[in-house]
Structure 1
Amino acid sequence: MTIKPKIKGNWLELTIEAPLEGKTLEDILKQDLFISGRMIQRLTRQKGLFLNRKVPFLKKKVKTGDFLRVLVGDKEEGSLVPENIPIDVVYEDEEVLVVNKQAGLIVHPIKPGQTGTLAHGIAFYWLSKGVTGKVRPVHRLDKDTSGLLLMANNSYIHQLLDRQLREQTIKRTYLTIVHGRLAEKKGTIREPIGQDPQHPVKRKVTPKGEEAITHYEVVEEFQEASLVSVELETGRTHQIRVHFDYLGHPVLGDSLYGKKHPWIQRQALHAHRLEFLHPFREEKLSFEQPVPEDMKKLLEKLKESIPSV
């Protein structure tokens, strides 16, 4: 059964209908509302669960007409000190935030005390609107990768979107410029990716790695490079960069897996398109963001380098 709860402020509200009668409250929370056991424990501690305006037992069986309220807005204070870092907001509502990340910006702190990240900038943006709470990226982008990034506005929304990510219903399409011309203009790379034991940061294709699937199609070819559209089926660290390096076509400007390039100061990789189902409105949202200026200039120079016939 598909249920349609409503969000009012920080609370999710649901009137129990006949198909749910006889189920325990715990089963409804886990199976129908997709709330994790960890979040349920937190809700019981915070008095964030009410059935017919009373604090219920999790094993209580519900009846048709019962009224359930669940606290889904964050009471947790974010641990980041907000910083006035400009962010490019593409879309926002009460549940989600989509931003266009600039290259050179880390998404969130990766070590204690780290500052100057996108998450710090979002915390500042939210604070300016009177909103507090944790910054919750649904997926990641490397520091020097630009483009679209999805954020959840509370822990419950994050769980719903993370479920979409695991079920591969969030579609992420990238544009990248790689060295050389690919023999196959359209294809799928299915090679597992794991840690490179010789380097603390690098990843590599290895039989001991995790499943990694990358779909690609060549958009345009130049004398010694190709513009490629890439769709991720999985989301391993550095997946696009590792897979194209494995093919012998590393991303242009990628000093970690290839080499620096005089025409761009970072890897030529941009999260171009993002598509997902809104967790409450059952509406498919899609966004596109053109390549930033540095990749645009790189493409122009590559076109100019093609010898005339």
Structure 2
Amino acid sequence: MSSQLTGQRRGEWLELMPGKLPLPASGDRFEAALGWLEGVLGLPPKLQRMLEAEQGIKLAGDRLRLRLFPPRTSQYEPMLPEFPLQILYEDDFCLVVHKPVGVKVHPDGQSRQPTLANIVAAIYSERGEHVAPEHIHRLDEFTSGPVLYAKNTYAQLKLDAAMARKEIGRVYVALVQGTVSPALRVIDQPIGKDRHHKSRRRVSPTGQRAVTHIELIEAYPAASLVRLTLETGRTHQIRVHMSHAGYPLIGDALYGGSTKLLSHQALHGESLSFAHPLTGETLSVSDPWPASWEALREQLQG
């Protein structure tokens, strides 16, 4: 797909200007448009079939229109949070929001507390917009940071595919116990379920490949601040890898961390990068470190 590709939203429709399309042997302009949508726009075949069936593809002169923004209702109940949700990035296709500590990404049927899904649904309910964003990835309940949402089916299919190809970059920062050696740059250890504890994961020869890249930012007398980049996205990957290496996250009782200074793991998503589903432009969205970490770092320095 061209990195310069742009379109204009007109209500429920995206208007594109593909230019003069080479006609196939049949001379059918619509067939030529379908070829352009597949080869240049990278329109997922599943969505193309759906749009064709619903007459959601229209040719008008040199303009090509796709009905990518039909009204949708979220499957999640709108629930307003105690504090306003911070939107880090938004356009017609993507939404990135800050997930606070202690908020789940989506309901699990065990709690009536608002989840990120409920709060995002409330944003569009309050605006009176018929949009039902779907999350592309997750964060643990007590990990803060940016979460990426797709605002329509086209964006969801493109971003899900990018996630599967490991093309969505995620960078984290963590406060860990012990002084991490600057020589520790990567942990490449498979992760599987812990058969003795249903909530835990562990390094296991029979697990899935997991790779975490590590950069030491600050060293304290008995702790370290590290930046971690995921090459894979296994459940609890950072927590498992750092604990296995002998540096459990501060506050992470599940993996051997002390809760003396913090009641939950000191892990935060620092940034998220991805190719925009329409334009192909690389977007990098940052999420500032938690304000509470400043006092925590001072304690660790002392």
Are 1:80 and 2:81 counterparts?
no
| Matching of residues 49-64 of structure 1 within 5 Å | 49-52=56-59
TM-superposition CA deviations, 1:89-129 (whole Å, max 9, x none): 12222222222211000011234885510111111111122
Taking a change above 3 Å as real, the CA distance of residues 141 and 192 of structure 1, as seen in their structure-2 partners, is same
Partner of 1:4: 5
Q: In 2, distance between residues paired with 1:152 and 1:178?
A: 33
Taking a change above 3 Å as real, the CA distance of residues 52 and 81 of structure 1, as seen in their structure-2 partners, is same
Of 96-105 and 156-165, more deviation after overlay is shown by 156-165
| Matching of residues 268-283 of structure 1 within 5 Å | 268-283=266-281
TM-superposition CA deviations, 1:265-287 (whole Å, max 9, x none): 21000011222333334443323
Partner of 2:170: 172
Task: Quote the offset at 1:73 in angstroms.
Answer: 1.5
Partner of 2:27: none
Do the aligned residues in 2 keep the contact of 1:134 with 1:154 (CA within 8 Å)? yes
What SS is found at the alignment partner of 2:171?
Answer: strand
Higher relative CO (Cα under 8 Å, sequence separation at least 6) belongs to 2
| Matching of residues 3-82 of structure 1 within 5 Å | 4=5, 6-8=7-9, 9-17=11-19, 21-22=23-24, 28-45=36-53, 47-52=54-59, 67-82=63-78
Do the aligned residues in 2 keep the contact of 1:185 with 1:218 (CA within 8 Å)? no
Q: Which runs of 5+ in 1 are unaligned?
A: 54-64, 305-309
Do the aligned residues in 2 keep the contact of 1:30 with 1:37 (CA within 8 Å)? yes
Of 192-201 and 78-87, more deviation after overlay is shown by 192-201
Give, as a single letter, the amino acid of the residue that structure 2 aligns with 1:198: H
Query: Percentage identity across aligned positions?
Result: 35
What SS is found at the alignment partner of 1:100?
Answer: strand
Q: In 1, distance between residues paired with 2:37 and 2:107?
A: 32
Partner of 2:28: none
Q: 1:130 aligns with which of 128, 131, 138?
A: 128
Q: In 1, distance between residues paired with 2:46 and 2:113?
A: 28
How many equivalent residue pairs? 292
TM-superposition CA deviations, 1:56-110 (whole Å, max 9, x none): xxxxxxxxx7754322124432111101113111222222222221100001123
Do the aligned residues in 2 keep the contact of 1:48 with 1:70 (CA within 8 Å)? no
Partner of 2:224: 226
Give, as a single letter, the amino acid of the residue that structure 1 aligns with 2:65: R
Q: In 1, distance between residues paired with 2:217 and 2:49?
A: 49
What SS is found at the alignment partner of 1:271?
Answer: strand
Give, as a single letter, the amino acid of the residue that structure 1 aligns with 2:193: Q
Taking a change above 3 Å as real, the CA distance of residues 51 and 287 of structure 1, as seen in their structure-2 partners, is closer
Give, as a single letter, the amino acid of the residue that structure 1 aligns with 2:51: L
Q: 1:266 aligns with which of 252, 264, 267?
A: 264
Taking a change above 3 Å as real, the CA distance of residues 35 and 242 of structure 1, as seen in their structure-2 partners, is farther
What SS is found at the alignment partner of 1:256?
Answer: helix
Task: Quote the offset at 1:15 in angstroms.
Answer: 4.6
Task: Quote the offset at 1:154 in angstroms.
Answer: 1.4
Give, as a single letter, the amino acid of the residue that structure 2 aligns with 1:13: E
What SS is found at the alignment partner of 1:243?
Answer: helix
Do the aligned residues in 1 keep the contact of 2:6 with 2:279 (CA within 8 Å)? no
Task: Quote the offset at 1:293 in angstroms.
Answer: 2.8
Do the aligned residues in 2 keep the contact of 1:74 with 1:155 (CA within 8 Å)? no
TM-superposition CA deviations, 1:109-163 (whole Å, max 9, x none): 2348855101111111111222123231122111000112222211211222233
TM-score between both structures, scaled by the size of structure 1: 0.83
Are 1:244 and 2:242 counterparts?
yes
Taking a change above 3 Å as real, the CA distance of residues 40 and 111 of structure 1, as seen in their structure-2 partners, is farther
Taking a change above 3 Å as real, the CA distance of residues 153 and 265 of structure 1, as seen in their structure-2 partners, is same
| Matching of residues 156-195 of structure 1 within 5 Å | 156-195=154-193
Taking a change above 3 Å as real, the CA distance of residues 78 and 178 of structure 1, as seen in their structure-2 partners, is same
Q: In 2, distance between residues paired with 1:105 and 1:262?
A: 22
Task: Quote the offset at 1:29 in angstroms.
Answer: 4.7
Of 178-187 and 142-151, more deviation after overlay is shown by 178-187
